[in-house]
Amino acid sequence: MLAKQKYRKSGTSPTFLVQNNISFVPRGGTSEIMSEKNLIFVNMKIRLIGKNLDELKKLVAEEGLPGFTAKQIAQWLYVKKVRSIDDMTNLSKAARARLSEKYEVGVTPYAGLQISSDGTKKYLFPVSCPHKRGLNVRVSEDELETSAIEAVMIPDADRATLCVSSQAGCRMGCRFCMTGRQGFHGHMSAADIISQFIAVDESDKLTNAVFMGMGEPLDNYDNVMRAIEILTADWGFAWSPKRITLSTIGVLPNLKRYLDECKCHLAVSLHNPLPHERLSVMPVQGAWPIEEVIALIKQYDFTGQRRVSFEYTMFAGFNDTKAHADALIRMLKGLECRMNLIRFHKIPDFPYETSPDVIIENFRNRLNNSGLTTTIRASRGEDILAACGMLAGQHRE
Ligand code: SF4
């Protein structure tokens, strides 16, 4: 079923959801513009969010506006986080009117929200059939359903971390992942990625970000890098790269680019050190073996500000033996890194359950005793299925 049955609606729109340029109309809706049932119109306005300073400079030049306007717009978008061009009050009325003819801010309000008993919040966002965005096309409601993505805000004593999505669905096909089960519905634009940071209620309180939501970020490299540029640039959010972690299963060519071009932290989904076993649950192993991923990572310095960590979901009887622990120790020898052990939340049609706590603790102790810093990650938002890597999917069943 569509997420709307389980999510709380946001806003006061008379339709199920109205965002800046897209409306979801309930079946039988009577909107004049959307007279055809179950069809959604995508308009032609261009979103300003997701653009970097160079693009904004080009844009203002094309519109005949003074060059300094670009920096003013960036401030309104990424510092003051306005939702409308009309709110950019240090731009002249004429400039605002001119911009509004062609452009919109383009923040997508959330369509639904679930709040866990531990304070974790899961937001649902529509992304507008990413591969069709900007075209004057109509798309079916079903198509938009499959393009919904989620972001999770995880509060802690001294931080608020946003776990963001980078693709609608995913084409990596990891067997233990609900997102992978959905298939791939499109890359998210930089605008859709940045929009998550602005649209959540905690936007001004966020301290950290992890690209660990739906999708493989290194499979959508350019848009993710653009979003990180906006988050870290002084004309943008001005976050330190230390506040951002990108998680990957090891898309090797783009991992090299990421390590060369970006100072943010890296997390690698490892899950099994034995190649044939890893391949049985992670098809990526066939294309880019974890041994080659680790060999590449070992060429970079992680003794300074930038950190690398490994994610290891514990599957009973599959990857939780002493032999697996010893293989991990051998594999990561000489690398300054951390290991996060994660309890598995069972999903349908996958043969393994989570390892018992005592096995997880023994596994952790064995790694720690070898000098590999290892922690068991606390589960957050379990009651709303908010664990990273577990996003979406369930609400559509
Ligand atoms: S675990 Fe990550 S890479 Fe694998 S299918 Fe799920 S979202 Fe994609």
Residue 176 confidence (pLDDT): 94
pLDDT of 154 strictly over 90: yes
| Active-site pick, 163, 174, 177, 388 | 388
Q: Which CATH class is domain 112-396?
A: alpha beta
Q: Is 216 in the pocket of ligand 1 (CB under 6 A)?
A: yes
Mind listing the pLDDT tens digit for each residue in 187-199?
Answer: 999 999 999 999 9
Report the atom number in ligand 1 closest to the C-alpha of 180. 5
Question: 212 alpha carbon to ligand 1 midpoint, in Å?
Answer: 9
Ligand 1 atom closest to Cα of residue 177: 6
Q: What percent of the chain has pLDDT over 70?
A: 81
Q: What is the pLDDT of residue 182?
A: 83
More confident residue, 131 or 53: 53
- 213, HSE (Cβ side, Cα atoms, 13 Å): 28
Helix axes 322-332, 357-369, angle to 10 degrees: 30
Catalytic residue among 104, 129, 150, 174: 150
Torsion angles phi and psi, residue 368, rounded to 5: -60, -40
Contacts of 261 (CB under 8 A, 6+ apart): 225
pLDDT at 386 over 70: no
Q: Across residues 266-289, what is the average pLDDT?
A: 98
| C-alpha distance from residue 233 to each of 50, 230, 237, 238, 240 (Å) | 13, 5, 6, 5, 9
Nearest CA owner, ligand 1 atom 4: 174
Does 160 sit in the ligand 1 pocket, CB within 6 Å?
Answer: no
Task: Please give the full DSSP string across 26-49, using - where no structure is assigned.
Answer: -TT---STT-STTEEE---PEEST
Q: Whose CA is nearest to atom 7 of ligand 1?
A: 215
Task: Categorise residue 81: left if φ over 0, alpha if ψ from -120 to 50, beta otherwise.
Answer: left
Q: Are the CB atoms for 152 and 162 separated by under 8 Å?
A: yes
Is 177 marked active-site? Answer: no
Residue of 165, 212, 249 best suited for mutating to test ligand 1, as the one with most atoms within 8 Å of CB: 249
Q: Do domains 50-104 and 112-396 have the same CATH topology?
A: no
What pLDDT, on the 0 to 100 scale, is given for residue 134? 41
264: annotated active-site residue: no
What residue spans define the domains of the chain?
50-104, 112-396
Q: Which CATH architecture has domain 50-104?
A: Orthogonal Bundle (1.10)
The more confident residue out of 68 and 17 is: 68
Cα 350 to middle of ligand 1, angstroms? 15
Tell which residue, 365, 322, 320, has the closest CA to residue 344.
320
Q: Is residue 2's pLDDT more than 50?
A: no
Q: If you measure from the C-alpha of residue 165 to the centroid of ligand 1, how many angstroms do you get, rounded to a whole number?
A: 11
Any atom of ligand 1 within 6 Å of the Cβ of 177: yes
Confidence at 126, pLDDT banded by 50, 70, 90: confident
Decide: 174 in ligand 1 pocket, CB within 6 A: yes
Ligand 1 in contact with 249 (CB < 6 A)?
Answer: yes
CA of 247 to the centre of ligand 1 (A): 10
329 within 8 A of 290, measured Cβ to Cβ: no
Question: What percent of the chain is predicted at pLDDT more than 90?
Answer: 73
pLDDT of residue 220: 96
What does pLDDT average to over the chain? 85
Q: Provide the pLDDT confidence category of residue 38 given band limits of 50, 70 and 90.
A: very low
196 near 125, Cβ under 8 Å? yes
Would you say the CB of residue 99 lies under 6 angstroms from ligand 1? no
Which phi and psi (to 5°) does residue 98 adopt?
Answer: -65, -45
For residue 122, the CA-to-ligand 1 centroid distance in Å is 18
Whole-number Å distance between alpha carbons of 226 and 14: 35
